[in-house]
Amino acid sequence: MGEAARVVVFGLGPIGRAIGAALVGKTSLRLVGAVDVAPALRGRPLSEVVPGASSDARVAGSIDELMADARPDVVLHATGSYLDRVYPQFEELLSAGCNVITTCEEAGYPTDMEKAEQLGKIDALCRCHGVRLLATGINPGFAMDVWPLVASAHLTRLDSIDVHRVVDAASRREPLQRKVGSGMTVEEFRREVHAGRLGHVGLEASARMLAKALGREVMELSGAIEPVTAEREVTSRYFRVPAGKVVGLRQDLTARLEGQVSLRLYLEMYLGAPNPRDELVLAGDHTTQVVVDGGFPGDSATAAILVNSVAPALSCSPGYLTMLDLPFFGCAP
């Protein structure tokens, strides 16, 4: 094994801290610092935020401060879901010569011309500076694209893929509970959905990435986001929701692909959702059903996928990467 890659975490919210925790104890990777704009964190030893981190690692308040303190081989980035909001951070990191692996769902795969243009600029910037940018996580990045893709390899004929993900949002971090509308009225929920501020970001990226990997064009897309309301009071660590108000959502996306192949991605994510699971059904020359009882643990699984993708991402040529560009990989030492 060669020298451990030097890794920095950008953003010390719940996911960033989970990424830091996943790095602790890795022999192939070395956590050398972090970046967070919160004044309360700036300059603190990273070990105060991520137990087990090196006593030498500190939290920088800016990218300039980071580069003066710790030259990383790769930055694991976790500050937002929307590409336009985090693009300036990407631009600064890539221009500084940093490889970036991010949780930004909208960077997972281009879904429209505007995002394709932005990701094209990222690709050019990566190539100019000899670095890479990859967006991944549990979804997009695994549960609704890579997992069904690999599972479909045992079929001779493929007719349909159905992925059903059920998440008890009460077990997840506060920002996610807010993102599914916990505590809102139904009217508030629908307004936020209409404004594009609510719901899971990334279903379309997963559908288009999966279609691309299957060698089929997307002919038609349709979907909806609907509220789930509490039948009785529901509580979590962060919310107390009375009967009649929103506890989360049901969201689906159906894609018709050329060759009469259909994809259906169905997500239920709400406080108290029963029977959490990840379920995959593939139909073709025969039907296969796979159920992961309890489901993939979203936050820690996202952290693990980012950490485990470092070596395969760095093995790729410079540029913007999707999960389709990486070699197969598993749990890194």
pLDDT tens figures, 88-114: 999 999 999 999 999 999 999 999 999
Residue 233 CB contacts under 8 Å (≥ 6 apart), including other chains: 240, 241, 242, 243
Task: Give me the residue spans of the domains in the chain.
Answer: 5-138+301-325, 146-295
Give the CATH fold of the 146-295 domain.
Answer: Dihydrodipicolinate Reductase; domain 2 (3.30.360)
The pTM for the full model equals: 0.94
Could you tell me if 108 and 204 are in contact, meaning their C-beta atoms sit under 8 angstroms apart? no
Whether residue 1 has pLDDT greater than 60: no
How many whole angstroms separate alpha carbon 310 and alpha carbon 305? 9
How does pLDDT run across 62-94, given as a tens digit for each residue? 999 988 888 899 999 999 999 999 999 999 999
Q: Where are the beta strands (DSSP E) in 69-188?
A: 74-77, 99-102, 132-135, 158-168
Kindly state which CATH superfamily the domain 5-138+301-325 is placed in.
Answer: NAD(P)-binding Rossmann-like Domain (3.40.50.720)
